[in-house]
Structure 1
Amino acid sequence: MKRALIVIDVQNEYFTGNLPIAHPPREESLANILTAMDTAHEHDIPVIVVRHTAPVESPLFAAGSDSWELHQEVGRRPYSHLTDKSMASAFAKTDLAEWLAAHEIDTLAVVGYMTQNCDESTARDAAHLGLAVEFLSDATGTVAMSNRMGAVTAEELHNHVLVVMESNFASVATTAEWTAAAKSGAALPRPNIWQSTAPARTPLN
């Protein structure tokens, strides 16, 4: 197994900009992200930092703005590769897949923001490329959403994505669980669609 840690869009937009992370609380998720980065560095696990970049006129992640900048705690930590992206998945129109292949990475741990958007998109693409994916439940986070289809709280949205990830796409773990696995070199339990869909086979009462 050769792990890498991908730190997705930990930018000021989610702290002092227009998308303040709500669940898990952003200071808690940030602390876990930094713990994961520090653990990776200590154990020679490559760290890929991803930065979302939008046109200068965009209300979110406008290139060159303060909101576009990496959070200072992420920016000051060492990393192996920086990828700028313009779409949800860190694999879309970037060099990420090639970089991972060149470094013989077979397991990708996902942290950062937002759970249901860039994190989930990246995790799904990684799984479809044949990578084992690890999704850190308390080092990711999101916001409440509302549109013509309805409304969902940040906690509901985050938790629902974790269930879907664990069902078929990623090994979902806390930062503490991932840190222990990274230190020992152990694999996390793989997602299991059969087990996750057991309720579908339970007779209705």
Structure 2
Amino acid sequence: MTTLLIIDMQVGMTWPKAEVRNNHNAEETIARLLMEWRHRKAPVVHVRHISRTPGSPFWPGQPGVEFQPALSPLACEHVVEKNVPDAFINTGLERWLHTRGESSIIIVGVSTNNSVESTARTAGNLGFKTFVVSDGTYAYAKTDFNSKERSAEDIHAMALANLDGEYASIISSVDALEVVLPLALSTQAPIG
């Protein structure tokens, strides 16, 4: 089976101005994937960032830390809380996946060059078959080390390029629904 891993789709991620990010339909794409995973009773993990920096929108108890309502976990879905970008660090995620015999994950969420990239690198290094959905992730504009302004699309594309073929396979949401999920379901061990 392939686990859908949804990273940091929290209320605080909706607060930056729209023009500083790319993939404005990413939330709809993630919701579509989530609906299909739920329909197929495939495993879903929701990752939430809990900041260790007082005043952060992701500090415990702040409204920004809550999941976006359209992407909130069901009671039966696993929730991982992290304090650093990588969802595997000090969270038990690796153990949770191994205990259930999960060997592949599809990653969606935010931001491509931060939590998504960090988590995908570790997943690949741990031996998980890792997929990152290009249209189910997004990034924010950023100034590079040489003080040059980079668009959100440039940041997104570079993060995906950093991962592709070495740590993960970069796929579209169409590929996730039409190729990866059906293949995972067809190779699932029978229950009983």
Coarse TM-score class (shorter-chain normalised): 0.7 to 0.9
Q: Is the 8 A contact 1:49 1:79 kept in 2?
A: no
For 2:42 and 2:155, how far apart are their aligned partners in 1? Answer: 30
2:103 to 87, 103, 106: 106
Gap change, CA 1:163 and 1:73, over 3 Å in 2: same
2:26 to 7, 24, 29: 29
Q: Please, what TM-score do these two structures have when normalized by structure 2?
A: 0.88
Give SS of 2:165's match.
helix
1:122 to 119, 122, 128: 119
Q: Are 2:160 and 1:156 aligned?
A: no
Name 2:188's counterpart in structure 1. none
For 2:3 and 2:150, how far apart are their aligned partners in 1? Answer: 32
The code of the aligned residue for 1:176 comes to V
- From the CA coordinates, give the structure whose radius of gyration is larger: 1
Deviations 1:21-59 (A, max 9, x none): 61111xx00000011111111222100000000147233
Q: Is the 8 A contact 2:131 2:171 kept in 1?
A: yes
Gap change, CA 1:95 and 1:19, over 3 Å in 2: farther
Q: Please, what TM-score do these two structures have when normalized by structure 1?
A: 0.82
Deviations 1:149-172 (A, max 9, x none): 323110001011122222311111
Q: Is the 8 A contact 1:36 1:179 kept in 2?
A: yes
Q: Which moved more, 1:173-182 or 1:110-119?
A: 173-182
Gap change, CA 1:138 and 1:88, over 3 Å in 2: same
Q: Is the 8 A contact 1:34 1:74 kept in 2?
A: yes
Structure 2 alignment gaps of length 5 or more: 186-192
Q: Is the 8 A contact 1:41 1:78 kept in 2?
A: no
Q: Is the 8 A contact 1:137 1:173 kept in 2?
A: yes
Structure 1 alignment gaps of length 5 or more: 188-205
For 1:36 and 1:13, how far apart are their aligned partners in 2? Answer: 21
